[in-house]
Structure formats: C-alpha cells, structure tokens
Amino acid sequence: MNNSYESLAQEIVALSSVMSVSGYEARGMDEICRLLGKGFDRVETDAVGNCFLWKYCGRDGAPKILVDTHFDEIGMLVREILTDGFVRLVPIGGLSPSVLQAADVILYGKEAIRGVIVSTPPHLRSADENRLPDCEELLVDTGYPKEELEALLPIGSPVGFAPVYRELLSGRLAGKSFDNKACAAIAAHAISSVPKEKLAGDVVLMLSSYEETSRLGGASAGAFSCTPDYAMVIDVNLATVPDVPKVETVPLGGGLSISVSAATDLNLTRAVQALCKARGIAHTMIAAASSTGTNATSIQLVDGGIPTVDIGLPLRNMHTYNEVIDLSDAEALCSLVEAFVCDREIADRFCGREELPR
C-alpha cells in the first residue's frame, strides 16, 4: 500500500472497529477519546449521545465551524433468548436479510461473546424456497446454554459485526462500519493535523448519534447545542455497481462528492466546489434535488438556520460488513476538510447572523 495512505488507513480501521450500534454510541466513548482525543483541545458529550471534539484557534470571537460525521453504525439488538444457544435479533437501521446469512457477529452483553447468524445449507433447502427470513426473525447461534445466556445477555443488548478488514487492489479497503466511521476518522485526521493558528475559527467535530435510525435524531440536537456559524456534513455515498444506473451513484476512486441540493446552502456548496477546484481535489458533483438523505437536512434547520454543505465519500456494499472504500477518495476528503477549516474567505462570508428586526 502507498505509504501516504498507511496511517490514514490504520486510523480508519481502528475507529471503525469501535462498537457503536445506534443508541449505544456512548459505550465506545473511552475508546474514541483514546484514538482521537490527543488531536483536540476538549472532548464532551451531550444528552443524546453526540460527542464533540473541539479544536480552538486561540482568537476571541472567532467563527465556529461544525464538521459533522455521524458515528453510529447499523447492527442488531437481542430480542429473545431461545433454547440451545440461539438468540433472536431485531435489526437497528437498514439491514438486508440477504447479507446477514452466516455472518460473524459479536454480542455485547455483560461480556462480549461471539456468534454466527444461522443459514440454511443447500442440502436442506428446497428448490422453491427463495425467501429469506425477515430481519426480525433472524437467529444467531452462540453456543451457550439458555440460563447462562439469560444472565449474560440482557434483552436489548447490542450486536455488531465482527471487525475483520482486508486490503484490496488500488488502495481499497474492505470492512465493517466505514459508514460512517471512515469519514469520522478522516475528518479527525485532517483537523488534528492543522496547526491551530492556521484555523479560520474554532472547529468542532461532531460525532453524531443515531443517524441510521432517525435522521432528525442526534445531529439536530447536537448542532443546536454547539451553535456553529456554518457546517460541513460528511457521510458516505453509494458507489457505482453494475446493477444500478450510474446517475444514482458516484464512482469509487473518483474523489469525494459534493451534493447540490435544495436542502443545503447553495452559496456554501459553490464555495466548497471552488475550493476543490483551486486545490486540485478530485470531486464529483451530484444532484440531490430535494434531500441529501444525510444529517445536512436536519442541521441546516437548527438555531435560525446554519449554512450547510453536504460532502460524500464513495462506498460500495453499504450496510454490509464488507463496505469498500478507496483510499485515494479518503485522501481527497482529508485535503478538503483541511482546506475548509482553514479557509478565511469562507469564514468571513458565512460567519455571523442577521439581527432580528426590533
């Protein structure tokens, strides 16, 4: 692997391995502080599970810049303890039964135990049986007696995919929860590496909660409490696969994506596009007419309106345990975040609020 990618890849893998199934983001907080804390001045959390990493520019009255990356991941919860070591699960976030058969999972009860989601072998499947069980009917095989499971795994315990990562060709990585912890790791890397005097304002990286279950969840409350002047929302974006029209996807390896949308700030979007052009950062423009399908929708409607730009990292196999990203895209995103938090022109333009008429 290219050397310049290596440390970024390691940081992405380390952060993606932290269990943070929606609603359980707080369980990973110590690990987040250990991994990201040293690059920031202050770490705090709020009532709905958001985590804020602040880096101050050291000037009084400086603008506040929000970079949002949701930190929760899709997963499952323990729904029912059955006999012979089987546990029934319920999904958290959009999970397709077709990618869950025979998956390796970890059940985070009083201790973390391993399990395998059941599947039917071809020997026992009848030819006309082309339907998979609903996600709500999925069973996981744990190998513990029922009584012990009842003690070990309270109902509602989170269940996540086992973190196993592989390097593919062309500097691509495969593994779990790059949606959206790859973006969180990249943003943290970028902000940490900028010397504070270069910052255009005080920067807060918000690791927002439960995006996968409710887009109006963590991020809007978080944006309300940190009152930024303007914001960049970074989330993964569906990458090209043969079975989907090209226009609905972004190319993997083509750089980051910038959404043009009626639901985000057009001026900020154009300013960021110009920044990419000026710095030679690879990017694709996408038309996300009425909605970006990300936290941008909710953040920009908070606290009198926050100018928001929506940025995407192309990712294939979204919501599986083998999401694929391209590290050249990661590097492009990293360059943009660095440039964005240092850009004084953007800061001057989007800082401050109009007074209400009195």
Partner 1 sequence: MKRYDKDLTLLRELSLLFGPSGCEGEVADTIERALPSLCDSYTRDRMGNLIALIRTGDPEKKQRRKVMISAHMDEVGVMVSELCEDGLLRFDTVGGIDVSVLEGRKITLEGACGKISGVIASKAIHHKERKDRNKPTPMAKLFIDIGARDRAEAEGYVSVGSFGTFDSEFYRFGKDGAFVKGKALDDRMGCAAMISVMSSLMGDRPKADLDLYFCFTVREEIGLSGAKVVAQRIAPELAIVLESTAVADLPDTEDAKRVAELGAGGALSVMDRSTIYDRDFLAFARWIAEEQAIPVQLKKYVSGGNDAGSIHKSGVGVRTLALSVPTRYLHSPACVASVSDYHSVTRLVEAMLRSMTPVLP
Write down the least CB distance from residue 293 to partner 1, Å: 8
Write down the least CB distance from residue 212 to partner 1, Å: 12
d(CA 356, CA 291): 28
Neighbours of 259 (CB within 10 A): 24
d(CA 353, CA 332): 31
DSSP letter string, 54-78? EE--S-TT--EEEEEEE--B-EEEE
Show contacts with partner 1 in window 90-149 (CB under 8 A).
Answer: 94-99, 101-104, 113-125, 130-134, 139, 141-145, 148
Burial of residue 250 (number of CB atoms within 10 Å: 0-12, 13-18, 19+) = buried
Write down the least CB distance from residue 137 to partner 1, Å: 9
- Return the number of the residue (175 or 222) whose C-beta is nearest partner 1: 175
d(CA 76, CA 21): 8
d(CA 89, CA 109): 13
Residues 6+ apart with CB under 8 A from 108: 19, 21, 24, 27, 157, 158, 159, 160
Say how many residues touch partner 1, by CB under 8 A: 67
Write down the least CB distance from residue 304 to partner 1, Å: 32
Q: Are 125 and 74 in contact (CB under 8 A)?
A: no
Which of these ranges, 13-21, 160-168, 205-213, 258-266, lies near partner 1 under the rule CB under 8 A? Answer: 160-168
- Return the number of the residue (3 or 83) whose C-beta is nearest partner 1: 83
Write down the least CB distance from residue 315 to partner 1, Å: 9
Q: Binding string to partner 1 for residues 29 to 68, with x set by CB under 8 A, is what? A: ----------------------------------------
Binding test (CB under 8 A) with partner 1, winner from 56, 85, 214, 284: 85
Which of these ranges, 13-21, 27-35, 77-85, 203-211, lies near partner 1 under the rule CB under 8 A? Answer: 77-85
70 interacts with partner 1 by CB under 8 A? no
- Report the sign of the C-alpha dihedral through residues 268, 270, 271, 275, in that order: positive
Show contacts with partner 1 in window 169-208 (CB under 8 A).
Answer: 169-172, 174
Binding test (CB under 8 A) with partner 1, winner from 6, 44, 84, 345: 84
Residues 6+ apart with CB under 8 A from 52: 42, 43, 44, 45, 46, 204, 205, 206, 207, 222, 226
Beta-bridged to residue 168, according to DSSP, are: 172
Q: Are 167 and 175 in contact (CB under 8 A)?
A: no
Write down the least CB distance from residue 240 to partner 1, Å: 7
Q: Binding string to partner 1 for residues 232 to 251, with x set by CB under 8 A, is what? A: ------x-xxxxx---x---
Write down the least CB distance from residue 55 to partner 1, Å: 33
Task: Please identify which residue in the block is written with the tokens 């990017």.
Answer: 283
Write down the least CB distance from residue 120 to partner 1, Å: 7
Q: What angle do CA 170, 172, 176 make, to 5 degrees?
A: 170
Q: Binding string to partner 1 for residues 316 to 355, with x set by CB under 8 A, is what? A: xxxxxxx-x-x-----------------------------
Q: For 244, left (φ over 0), alpha (ψ -120 to 50), or beta?
A: beta
Pairing of strands 158-161, 75-81: antiparallel
The contact set with partner 1 (CB under 8 A) reads: 82-86, 94-99, 101-104, 113-125, 130-134, 139, 141-145, 148, 162, 164, 166-172, 174, 238, 240-244, 248, 253, 316-322, 324, 326
